[in-house]
Chains A and B, each alone.
Chain A
Amino acid sequence: MVENQRWLDIFAHAILILGVATVAFPVYIAFVASTHTSTAFVSGTIPLTPSTSGPGNYGNVLSGGVAAQMSVPISLMLFNSMVMALLIAAGKIVISIISAFAIVYFRFPFRILAFWIIFITLMLPVEVRIVPTFAVIADLGMLNSYAGLTVPLMASATATFLFRQVFLTIPDEMMEAARIDGAGPMKFFRDILLPLSQTNIAALFVILFIYGWNQYLWPLLITTDSGYYTIVAGIKRMADVVESEPLWNYIMAVTVLAMLPPVAVVIFMQRLFIKGLVDSEK
C-alpha cells in the first residue's frame, strides 16, 4: 500500500465483489435449478431460489433410471471419472519422474534426442491429431477400456521438465555422498530424490487430477459402452436430448456433481494447487 486513498479502496472492493458474484452466478443458477421438479421449467423462466426437491433429484440421478436417455447411474460415471483422473495423474507422475531421473543423472547416446522427442508432445494436443489417434486406439482394441481412457494421455513433457528442474537444483554432493556410501542409482532415487521432491509431486498431482477429471473429447470418442462413460463427457450426451424434454433439474444436478470433486480439490488444497500451477508453467 503506497498511500491511503479511500475511494480507490472502495472501488477495488466493488470490483472484487462484482467479480466474485459473476464467477459464482452460473453455479448458483445451476444449483437452484437442480433443487426443483421438472415441471418448474415447463413455462416461464428459471426459478431464482432453491426448492425442496434437491435431495430427491440428486438421489435419482445418482442411482440412474431417471429417463431412457439418462439410464446410466451417475454414481457409475463419477466412479469412472475418479478412476480416470487418478490413473492419469499417477501415471503421468511416475512416467515423468523416471524419465527426468534418466535425463539428469545419466549420460548415454541419444539423450538429447530423447529429450526432444518428449518436448514434441507439447506441440501435439489431442484435438489436433484426433482422427489418426482414434484409429490407433481402435487398431489396438483399446476402445471402451480404462487403459484406452488413460494410457494415451500419460506422456507429459510438462511434468518431465518440472522434475528435471527440481533434480537440477538438488546439490551434486547429495549424489556423491550416496555413491560413497555405496548406494546404487535406484536406491538413490528412492531414498533421496523421491523424499526431496515430495511437495512437487503433491502439487503436480493436484493439477493433473483436475486435468484428468476434466477430459472431454477423448472419453467422448473412445467410450461407446455406457459402463465406461465419464461424467464430464456424459453431460453432453444427456444435454443433447434434454431440449425435447424439460429435464433441466436432472441435467443441472449432474453438472453440479461433475464440478464438485475438482472444485473441492482447488479450495481445500489451495496452496498445493497454486504451487502446482505456477511450477508446471515454468
Chain B
Amino acid sequence: MQTKRTIFGNKGLPYLLLAPQLVITAIFFLWPAGQAVRQSFLREDAFGLSTTFVGLRNYRALLDSPEYLGALKVTVVFSIATVVLALGIALMLALAVDRMLRSAAPYTTMLIWPYAVAPAVAGILWWFIFNPAIGILPFVLERVWGYDWNHNLTGSDAMILVVVAAVWKQISYNFLFFVAGLQSIPTSLREAASIDGAGPFKRFWSITLPLLSPTTFFLLVVNVVYTLFDTFAIIDATTGGGPAQATTILVYKVYDDGFVGLNLGSSAAQSVILMIIVMALTFIQFRYVERKVTY
C-alpha cells in the first residue's frame, strides 16, 4: 500500500491515532455483524429462554418462504424502476444544462437542492400529494381519467408512490455527476463529428454516451445501493411496506421481522444475505468503476 518516502518513527502514536476509529468500528460494526451471523444459525423459542443451533435451517426457511421471495421480487421491481427513471431523467437534464452557457448555473442550483432533503421527508411530501382523500394528484387522476387512486388499498399505486419519491430525491445526485462527466468530454471530439456531418442525435449515440459510460456505470452501482438501503426511510415513512407487502423491500423485511415480528433468527439470516449483496456491490464498485468501460 502506498505510503510516504519518509515516515515518523514513533511506535505507540499511530495506534493511539487509530484507536477511536477502530474502537467504534469494532463495537458498532464488527461485533453486531458477527452477532447477526451467529444468530442466523440459531433458533430462539417463543419466550427467548433457550436457543438451539439449527444450522442452515433459517436460510432454507427463507428460500422456501413465499413472503421472502415476494420481498425479493418487490425489491427487483422497485430497484429497476427507480434506477432507470432516476438515471434517465438526470441524464436528460444534464444534457440540456450542458448546452447552456449563461443559464447553466441558475438551472443547476434549482435542480440540486433535493439532495439535501431527507428520504423520509421526501416520502412524506409525496405521500401528502398522493393522499387518496385530499391529495392533488388523485384529484387530477379522478377528474381526467376517472382513476380511483388509493395507495392504501392498491399495491401498484403504493409502488408508484415510493418509486416517485425515491426518484425525485435521487435525480439531483445523478444530475451533478452527469454534468461533471459531460464537462470532461473534450469539445473537439464533438466538433470533429459535427464537421463530418453527424447530427445532434448521432453525436449523442456514438460519442457522448460511450464516453460517459464510466460515469453511468459508477452511478448505476451507487443507485442500486441507494434503492436497496437508503430508501428504507421512504418506505417506512409512507406505506410501511403495505398494502399486503406490496412495497416490502428486503431491507424493510429485516427490520419488520426483527423488531415487529421478533423473529430474530430469520431476521439475522436476512441481514447476512444483505451483507453479502453489499459486499458484492462494493467489490464491483472498487474493482471496475475506476477503469474505463470500453467497447
A contact residues vs B (CB 8 Å cutoff): 1-3, 5, 8-9, 11-13, 15-16, 19-20, 22-27, 29-30, 33, 41, 44-46, 48, 94-96, 98-99, 101-108, 111-112, 114-115, 117-118, 120-125, 127-136, 140, 151-152, 154-156, 160, 168, 172, 175-176, 179, 184-186, 188, 210, 213-214, 216-217, 220-221, 232-233, 235-236, 239, 248, 251-252, 255, 258-259, 262-263, 265-267, 270, 273-274, 277-278, 281
Contact = CB atoms under 8 A, between A and B. Distances in A.
Interface string B4-39: 111110110111011011101111111111011001
Contacts of A12: 95-97, 99-100
B87 to A, nearest CB: 14
B170 to A, nearest CB: 12
A266 B112 contact: yes
A127 B112 contact: no
B49 interface: no
B33 A106 contact: no
B6 A175 contact: yes
B101 A1 contact: yes
Top 9 A-B residue pairs of the complex, sorted by shortest distance between their CB atoms? A214-B118, A132-B32, A262-B116, A132-B35, A12-B96, A102-B17, A131-B258, A106-B14, A216-B233
Given A135-B32, A267-B113, A127 B232 contact: yes
A236 B27 contact: no
B236 A117 contact: no
B176 A274 contact: yes
B168 interface: yes
A118 B25 contact: yes
B54 interface: no
Interface in B139-162: 139
A128 B99 contact: no
Interface string B239-282: 00000000000010011001100001001100100110011001
A273 B171 CA distance: 16
B124 to A, nearest CB: 6
Contact of B268 (A124, A131, A155): A131
B128 A235 contact: no
Given A5-B200, A133-B28, A136-B28, A95 B21 contact: yes
B14 A281 contact: no
A121 B107 CA distance: 36
B283 to A, nearest CB: 9
21 contacts: A12-B100, A25-B129, A46-B128, A98-B20, A102-B13, A118-B21, A122-B282, A129-B29, A130-B255, A130-B271, A136-B32, A154-B20, A155-B21, A214-B119, A221-B259, A233-B120, A248-B128, A252-B128, A255-B125, A259-B118, A278-B180
Given A9-B99, A127-B229, A235-B237, 20 more contacts: A2-B191, A8-B99, A12-B97, A23-B110, A26-B126, A98-B17, A102-B15, A102-B17, A124-B33, A127-B251, A128-B278, A132-B31, A132-B271, A160-B21, A172-B5, A188-B8, A216-B233, A217-B236, A258-B118, A265-B116
A225 B124 CA distance: 23
Contacts of B166: none
Contacts of B267: 131
A26 B32 CA distance: 38
Interface of B: 1-8, 10-11, 13-15, 17-18, 20-22, 24-33, 35-36, 39, 89, 92-93, 95-97, 99-101, 103, 107, 109-122, 124-129, 134-136, 139, 168, 171-173, 176-177, 180, 187, 190-191, 194, 200, 203, 218, 222, 229, 232-233, 236-237, 251, 254-255, 258-259, 264, 267-268, 271, 274-275, 278-279, 282
Given A16-B96, A98-B17, A120 B200 contact: no
Given A45-B134, A132-B33, A155 B121 contact: no
Contacts of A220: 236
A73 to B, nearest CB: 19
A236 B8 CA distance: 51
A136 B103 CA distance: 52
A179 B194 CA distance: 57
B271 A99 contact: no
A74 B56 CA distance: 47
